[in-house]
Amino acid sequence: MEGINETIQKQLEHRTIREFKGQKIPEEVFKLLMEVARRTATSTGMQACSIIRVTDRELKKKIAEICNQEYVARAPELLIFIVDQYRNCQIAKEKNYTAETARDMDRFFAAFTDACITAQNVVTAAESMGLGTVYFGSILNDSEKICELLKLPELTFPVVGLGIGYPDQKPQLKPRMEMRLRIFENAYASFENYLEEIKEYDEEMRTYYDLRDPGRPVDSFSNQVVVRFSQVNSKRQEILNVIRRQGFDLMVK
Amino acid sequence: MEGINETIQKQLEHRTIREFKGQKIPEEVFKLLMEVARRTATSTGMQACSIIRVTDRELKKKIAEICNQEYVARAPELLIFIVDQYRNCQIAKEKNYTAETARDMDRFFAAFTDACITAQNVVTAAESMGLGTVYFGSILNDSEKICELLKLPELTFPVVGLGIGYPDQKPQLKPRMEMRLRIFENAYASFENYLEEIKEYDEEMRTYYDLRDPGRPVDSFSNQVVVRFSQVNSKRQEILNVIRRQGFDLMVK
């Protein structure tokens, strides 16, 4: 394909890496990743996200328990990206401005967006250097406990975890649905019969072997969707209550 | 700095580009960007985000009005990244599974995260090809109106806008606070006196000229924080009510 450069080539080859070599990431490489984090776009320039670098073994294990994924504890680097309106709120207070609006949900979402795009920028930088990465959305299985473990002050909140290290596995490229089902011009367009539209994709998915369960191919995508929706976690469902406990004003009418 | 490759070099040079040449983005280049979007990491493989490509001039103008930024209408490509649990919910329904949990806020946040990291992956790919980008968080100035304009069905929600094109300006690299204020080991650490910690940064910020107002340097960071927190938009504050109107169950106790 025309236009493919090294950056894009790596992006197209993205795979989640869950098993890493014992080798640590050199501190200069880590600093470079943090420099990329620093230079990432940020909503209205406010830089309202922070990162907790988890190095303590016991803490890693506790987080892995919340995630219900033991390999979380084995990631050479474990970063938790967080919403952080606390820092700017403190800055405002020191300027004698009581920033009550720091509690607004739109500030929360701006910081949440900052945290996500920063994480992805770090992922791309890491992969460009031959490192592998794995996102841990599972830290939100118990967001309240994560707040407690990481001593997150008010106006902060965990967004996503990220494991980084030198890959010790070579997963297959995971099939993805066609973009024609995901991009629309000027207005959302739904399809009459989704199962028909994803028929080939459903089949293609059944040629994929997940290294967590290498003995058999994974389920069709549509079956995976049903399984996922049938998994309920009340702590995940009730996430807004934890967000409120962290000091945000939900302003729900 | 050791380890800097082409990808990272571009990431470190990131600037927001608000003025673009008239030149359109070739369709092959756009397709490549969408292929990068497709290959982006996604929570539990669910691919729960979509993109609205805004090509209609009148629609662009209406969105620019909501953003209160006339240059939104002039971006050669305007993409709106959205939370999309609608598609998977329909797939589940066609499998005779009434996926009520598609309405859960954790599904919303998973999709929101997907949308953000996809947007950032597109940004990196675009910049690697010499294109410039600008995020429009301002689409949330009136999220309800955006839902209406883009005909977003239930279980979808706008996350962030993105303008892409060939740069027609060369902004200065914008000063950013030191990462030592944004990364913590094992637990959040606050500082005694933030204004003292950001003193140099506050000064450095005053050497930056924003091309939107090139006649004078911008304000110190701490003053910008105060100004930002003093800007209130009730529609932005009350975003959760619109999210609920789109079919999500807030489960607020």
Integer Cα distance of A11 and B122 in angstroms: 10
Contacts across the A-B interface (CB distance below 8 Å)? 390
Of A14, A59, A188, which has the smallest distance from its Cβ to B156's Cβ? Answer: A188
Helix, strand, coil percent content, chain A, rounded in steps of 5 = 50, 15, 35
Ordered per-residue pLDDT tens for chain A, 253 residues = 556 899 999 999 999 999 999 999 999 999 999 999 999 999 999 999 999 999 999 999 999 999 999 999 999 999 999 999 999 999 999 999 999 999 999 999 999 999 999 999 999 999 999 999 999 999 999 999 999 999 999 999 999 999 999 999 999 999 999 999 999 999 999 999 999 999 999 999 999 999 888 888 899 999 999 999 999 999 999 999 999 999 999 999 8
Question: Are the C-beta atoms of residues A121 and B121 closer than 8 Å to each other?
Answer: no
What sign has the CA pseudo-torsion A91, A95, A98, A102? negative
Q: Which tokens go with A88?
A: 């700017």
**What structural domains does chain B harbor?**
6-171 (3.40.109.10), 179-228 (no CATH)
User: To the nearest whole angstrom, how far is the Cα of A131 from the nearest Cα of chain B?
Assistant: 12
Identify the CA nearest to B181 among candidates A91, A100, A221, A112: A91
State residue B33 phi and psi, 5-degree precision. Answer: -60, -40
Measure in Å the smallest separation between the Cα of B121 and chain A Cα atoms: 7
> Terminal CA-to-CA distance of chain A, rounded, Å?
51
d(CA A139, CA A162): 10
Give the torsion through C-alpha atoms of B182, B183, B185, B191, to 10 deg.
-20
Closest residue on chain B to A146 (Cα): B187
- The alpha carbon of residue A36 is apart from the nearest alpha carbon of chain B, in Å, by 6
Interface residue of B96, B184, B246 to substitute, partner A, most A CBs within 10 Å: B184
Return the SS3 of A143. Answer: helix
Which of B122, B135, B151, B186 should one mutate to test binding to chain A, selecting the residue with the greatest count of A CBs within 10 A? Answer: B186
Crossing angle for the helix pair A86-94 and B221-230, to the nearest 10 degrees: 100
Give B87-144 pLDDT, tens digit per residue: 999 999 999 999 999 999 999 999 999 999 999 999 999 999 999 999 999 999 999 9
* Contact between A97 and B230 (Cβ < 8 Å): yes
Hey, are the CB atoms on B176 and A39 less than 8 Å from each other? Answer: yes
Alpha carbon distance A12, B7 (integer Å): 14
**Chain A nearest CA to B152, separation (Å):** 6
Q: Write out the two tokens for B87.
A: 């598609």
